[in-house]
Amino acid sequence: MILTVTLNTALDVTYRVPRLLPHASHRVTAVTERPGGKGLNVARVLAALGHEVTATGFAGGPVGAVVRELLAAAAPGVTDALVPCADTSRRTVAVVDEASGDTTQFNEPGPHVTAAEWSRFLTRYEALLAGAKAVALCGSLPPGVPVGAYAVLVRQARTAGVPVLLDTSGEALRRGVAARPEIIKPNAAELAELTGSRDPLPATRDARRRGAHAVVTSLGPDGLLATTAGGTWQAAPPRALAGNPTGAGDSVVAGLLSALVEGLDWPERLTRAVALSAATVLAPVAGEFDPRTYEEVRPTVYVTDASRG
């Protein structure tokens, strides 16, 4: 079983409008709702790849109830192990401008988690680790959760002998990386914030010195850069992709984690992760991927050992 953790789950609401204009009223042409938060997105992709997945984190109030209902309906291969909290879970609202294709995002902060609720989550997490082959710790921290939460969760997983992929940002990443996760997956901006360097290659090496065993950086259309104990590799699709990048980073996490569990080497891990990311960008629904497109894109990905060049 692969365990995903989404401490700040969300109900993702997407509005589509013909054109988004400031200070104007808009007629919405379509509304969609999905269970959201980075870890739940990762869980859906892992399940689509055929892996047994359990999703945990917090879900509370009426919004949390809808998240759980939609998770059961939209991701039947994902086991719901979310922990209830008294405060209501957040919503994220995306407004898609159909004329330009641009998306404007509004993210609520999330529920206030009490000390007792955090303690209950830690007990649930420790129990779930006993059956986990790997764990993904993903996304922002809701109010009330300690800023060092991911460091605590990384250390618990390491004690249980379970490899961890950490995908977060800011102070949560800074503290989490010091606990020595197996992999971190920042984007270029998050990596620069962590290390102070805007040059990705030395920045990934710096991040490894801070504690991560491997650093995989998302470079947007330029693919992924991975620095590991065994070398440095870069992987990218051979052409620019037009589409919606929403959820592409979560597909990268799913690709890396599934390949780790399957024992694939780093070039194969990056090949899968970039192909999944590309298939997500090209999918008609944001944050999903078409398995047929994934198989078509996969052979076009190239991997180079940047440590040799």
Give the tens place of pLDDT for each residue, 267-282: 899 989 998 888 887 7
Find where tokens 């010195």 sit.
209
pLDDT by residue (tens digit) across 213-224? 999 999 888 889
Eight-class DSSP state of 111 = P
CB-based burial label for 229 (10 Å; 0-12, 13-18, 19+)? exposed
Active-site residue, 250 included: yes
Helix (H) or strand (E) holding 106: strand 103-107
Greatest alpha-carbon pair distance for the chain in Å reads 56
Amino acid at 167: D
Q: Nearest 5°: CA angle at 153, between 62 and 115?
A: 50
Q: Report yes or no: 121 and 115 within 8 Å, Cβ to Cβ.
A: no
Q: Report yes or no: 280 and 71 within 8 Å, Cβ to Cβ.
A: no
> What is the side-by-side strand order in the sheet with 103-107?
30-36, 10-17, 90-97, 103-107
pLDDT at 244: 64
Which is nearest to 280 in space by CA: 264, 297, 266, 263? Answer: 297
Give the percent of the chain with pLDDT over 90. Answer: 67
Which is nearest to 194 in space by CA: 233, 167, 234? Answer: 167
Q: Please, what is the average pLDDT of the chain?
A: 90
**Verdict on whether the full-model pTM lies above 0.85:** yes
pLDDT at 308 over 60: no
pLDDT at 301 over 70: no
pLDDT band (50, 70, 90) for residue 306: low
Task: Given the residues 250, 265, 290, 305, select the one marked as catalytic.
Answer: 250
